Amino acid sequence: MSVPWLALLPIVVLGLVIGSFLNVVIYRVPRQESIVFPGSHCPKCNRALKARHNVPVLSWLVLRGRCSSCHSKIGARYPLVEAGTALLFAAVTLRFGLSVALPAYLFLAAIGITLAMIDFDARRLPDSIVLPSYVVAVLLLMPAGAVDAAWWPAVRGLIGAITLSAIYFALALAYPAGVTFGDMKLAGLLGLYLGWLSWAAILIGAIGGLFIGGFGGTALNAVRSRDGSLAIALGPCMAVAAGAALFLTAPISNWYATWVGA
């Protein structure tokens, strides 16, 4: 679906702002801190950040990656999350166009980045984020179904959620040291979104997450934690696979149809 380039500008700005907020969530939720109070501050000296120091990406560049008060180093990941969110928002908009379904998949992009980063940092997927996301996903996808007067995507989404949850539930039972029930809950959420799109998207998301996780473990020379389990978080792998399914399902399906018909 064609999107005027000028229409992407507010989407990119929105992505930068959302990305700045995601940094707060990524840092505070694993520490069980409020994401509202106190306001943005330096974690080293606890000095509140001035408004001009809260401009996504630009403030980090102007301050050269250091706190304006104590001059302690500010990790490059902060602007990377902000810029990455903006770029992903633009990509999702180009993928879905200015459609009724767009807000739902922008939310998926934001949640995917948040959970991937938290899982990478803390090796957990907080229920406080995953479970409410099911409700938000349904509420955002319902208008798209109503506009298209189609009930089948909703059924397929439900099947996708159940299928991916069941796969990861079985894996969590069989290999609890490597797969968690948090992974299972995230799989269900991703299955809901991918199922809304197509069967092929479910397949790519399911296989892709496990493949990336397995390949990552091998590429890291099977780095193991103290209890002997693979020290790799599946959340980022699942998020990447879901993103790949969003953007690659249609090209792969078209290629396959052409190849079979040749």
Task: Establish whether the linkage from the previous residue to 38 is cis, with ω within 30° of 0.
Answer: yes
> Please, is 214 exposed, middle or buried when counting C-beta atoms within 10 Å of its C-beta (0-12, 13-18, 19+)?
middle
Task: Give the CA angle between residues 19, 21, 23 to the nearest 5°.
Answer: 75
pLDDT tens-digit series, residues 84-126:
999 999 999 999 999 999 999 999 999 999 999 999 999 999 9
pLDDT band at 141 (very low <50, low <70, confident <90, very high): very high
**Residue range 55-76: mean pLDDT, rounded:** 88
Q: How far is CA 204 from CA 45, 182, 240, in A?
A: 46, 20, 11
pLDDT tens per residue, range 14-29: 999 999 999 999 999 9
Residue from 79, 102, 78, 101 nearest 89 by CA: 102
What is the pLDDT at residue 231? 58
pTM of the model: 0.89
Query: What stretches of the chain show up as alpha helix (H) in DSSP?
Result: 5-28, 58-62, 77-96, 102-122, 127-148, 152-174, 181-197, 199-219, 234-261
Please name the amino acid found at residue 132.
P
Q: What is the 3-state secondary structure (H, E, C) of 229-242?
A: CECCCHHHHHHHHH
Tell me if 107 sits within 8 A of 137, measured CB to CB. Answer: yes
Q: Which two tokens stand for residue 89?
A: 């928002």
Question: In the chain, pLDDT over 70 holds for what percent of residues?
Answer: 91
Mean pLDDT, the chain, rounded, equals 87
Half-sphere exposure of 212 (CA within 13 A, CB side): 19
Count Cα neighbours of 16 within 13 Å in the Cβ-side half-sphere.
Answer: 13
**pLDDT computed for residue 257 by the predictor:** 62
Q: Tell me the backbone φ, ψ of residue 233, rounded to 5 degrees.
A: -90, 130
pLDDT digits (tens, 9 = 90+) for 171-228: 999 988 888 999 999 999 999 999 999 999 999 999 998 888 777 655 554 445 444 4
